[in-house]
Amino acid sequence: MTICLLIFAFMIVSFFMKKIPMSVTSMLVMVLLIITGCIDVKTALPSFGSTTVVTMVCMFIVAAGLSRTQMIAHLSKMLYKVTKGSFTKVLATYVVMTCILGQFIPSIVALFALVYPLVQGMCDEMHISPSKMMYPIAIASVSCAFIIEPIGPYAAWYITDNGYLQSYGWTATQFNMWTETSVIFPVGIITLLLAIFVVPKFLPEQPEMPTSMVQGHELKHQEPLSPVREVLGYGVFVAVIIALMLGVPSWEATMIGAIVIVASGVLTEREAINNMNMDIILLYVGVVVMGNALGQTGAADMLGKWLASILGHTTNGYLIGAAFYIVAFLMTSVLYNRAVTTVLEPLAIMTCVSMGCDPRGPIILCALASMSSLITPMATAVVPMAMGAGGYSQKTILKAGLLPGVIRGVVGVLIAMTLYPIG
Q: Say what the pLDDT of residue 188 is.
A: 96
| The pLDDT of residue 327 is above 70 | yes
Least confident residue range of 2-6, 50-54, 199-203, 215-219 = 215-219
Helices (H), 127-277: 134-143, 157-167, 181-193, 227-245, 250-263, 269-274
Dihedral of alpha carbons 283, 161, 289, 64, sign? negative
- Average pLDDT, stretch 317-332? 88
Per-residue confidence band for 54, with pLDDT thresholds at 50, 70 and 90: confident
* Residue-wise pLDDT tens digits, 73-128: 676 566 566 666 578 888 998 899 889 888 877 678 767 866 776 787 677 767 78
| The pLDDT of residue 48 is above 60 | yes
| The pLDDT of residue 221 is above 60 | no
| The pLDDT of residue 215 is above 80 | no
How crowded is residue 46: how many other Cβ atoms within 10 Å of its Cβ? Answer: 11
* C-beta of residue 261 within 8 angstroms of C-beta of residue 62: yes
| The pLDDT of residue 1 is above 50 | yes
Q: Say what the pLDDT of residue 238 is.
A: 84
Longest CA–CA span in the chain (Å) reads 66
Distance CA 162, CA 169 (A): 11
More confident residue, 28 or 244: 28
Q: Say what the pLDDT of residue 214 is.
A: 44
| The pLDDT of residue 162 is above 50 | yes
How crowded is residue 292: how many other Cβ atoms within 10 Å of its Cβ? Answer: 23
More confident residue, 146 or 365: 365
Q: Say what the pLDDT of residue 355 is.
A: 80
Per-residue confidence band for 305, with pLDDT thresholds at 50, 70 and 90: low
Least confident residue range of 32-41, 140-149, 221-230 = 221-230
| The pLDDT of residue 218 is above 50 | no
